[in-house]
Amino acid sequence: MKYIIFNWKSYLNIAESMNLSKIVSKLPSTKKYKLICSPNNFYNLSLKSRYPKNIYAAQNIDLHGKGASTGSIDIEDLVNNKIKYCILGHSEVRSNFGETDLTVQKKTDLCLINKIKPIVCIGEPLKIYKSKKTKFFLKKQINKIFKKSNNYEEVVLAYEPLWSIGTGLTPKLSEIDDILGFLSKILENYSFKKINILYGGSVNLSNIKDILSLQNLNGVLVGSASTKSSFIKHFK
Ligand code: PEP
């Protein structure tokens, strides 16, 4: 079973999000894929009440909790509304809102305490990739986000090179494979009930077959291509 996460970011309005959710809801059920819709947080509940069988992910939460926190999306909002997954540490949240690995660590713990599965994003900027320091960079991110003393329930980890997100550029398959092997190895130093490693960054209809053919890959996180109905219909 491979995770396919549709990150609709803030690309779509409510009608377009409904339309894609409807398409997801009509796909025949299959053991090959676990499809997860991640609409703009504002639409999650409307979509869930209209198409309750789809699986939804929030695009972020924050750490302030209930109370005097204008603009906050609290973990309780996910729990009470049965939103089972949450994307954390996405590069756009890191760059737009200053999210750090330490914040991602706290949010990951908060999600797991509340039985929400975190989809934790990591990935190197272009400069690091070009200087061949990707592994060093990713190891540091993992060390900051996960604690060796914790026993983690299921976690989804998305490897998303920042230079690949929204650019049409992807690493070579052999490079993704090499990173997958590297991540699996360093994650052995931590205790996870289950860890799923995904790739994200300019996945589309032309490259998805090759990317999903990687044996050690547990799925993909897809941004702009996932806003097209033709892409979603691929997963029947
Ligand atoms: C993303 O935002 O997580 C992503 C992978 O975007 P895109 O597929 O558009 O590169």
Q: What is the pLDDT of residue 75?
A: 96
Sign of the alpha-carbon torsion through 94, 99, 102, 107? negative
Residue 65 has pLDDT above 90, yes or no: no
Q: What is the pLDDT of residue 74?
A: 93
Closest Cα to atom 8 of ligand 1: 223
Closest Cα to atom 7 of ligand 1: 223
Distance 77 CA to ligand 1 centre (A): 25
Mean per-residue pLDDT for 21-41? 96
The pLDDT-based confidence of 193 (bands split at 50, 70, 90) is: very high
Please report, as a single letter, which amino acid is at residue 139: K
Best residue among 38, 156, 203 to mutate for probing ligand 1, ranked by most atoms within 8 Å of CB: 203
Of 62-66, 115-119, 232-236, the one with minimum mean pLDDT is 62-66
Atom from ligand 1 closest to the CA of residue 87: 3
As a whole-number percent, the residues of the chain with pLDDT over 90 amount to 96
Mean per-residue pLDDT for 70-77? 91
> 201: Cβ below 6 Å to ligand 1?
yes
Closest Cα to atom 4 of ligand 1: 223
Cα separation, 82 vs 148, in Å, equals 29
Residue 208 has pLDDT above 90, yes or no: yes
Phi and psi torsions of 65, nearest 5°: 80, 180
Tell me which residue range forms the domain holding 72: 2-233
Mean per-residue pLDDT for 198-218? 97
Residue 60 has pLDDT above 90, yes or no: yes
CA angle 174, 57, 74 (to 5 degrees): 130
Closest Cα to atom 6 of ligand 1: 223
Residue 236 has pLDDT above 90, yes or no: no
- Residue 61, classified by CB atoms within 10 Å of its CB into exposed (0-12), middle (13-18) or buried (19+), is buried
Cα separation, 46 vs 15, in Å, equals 11
Domain count, the chain: 1
CATH number of the CATH domain containing 222: 3.20.20.70
Name the average pLDDT for the chain.
97
Q: Which residues are catalytic?
A: 90, 160
Residue 5 has pLDDT above 90, yes or no: yes
Mean per-residue pLDDT for 90-95? 97
Q: pLDDT by residue (tens digit) across 113-148?
A: 999 999 999 999 999 999 999 999 999 999 999 999
The pLDDT-based confidence of 71 (bands split at 50, 70, 90) is: confident
Distance 176 CA to ligand 1 centre (A): 15
Distance 170 CA to ligand 1 centre (A): 11
Residue 19 has pLDDT above 90, yes or no: yes
> 222: Cβ below 6 Å to ligand 1?
yes
> 224: Cβ below 6 Å to ligand 1?
yes
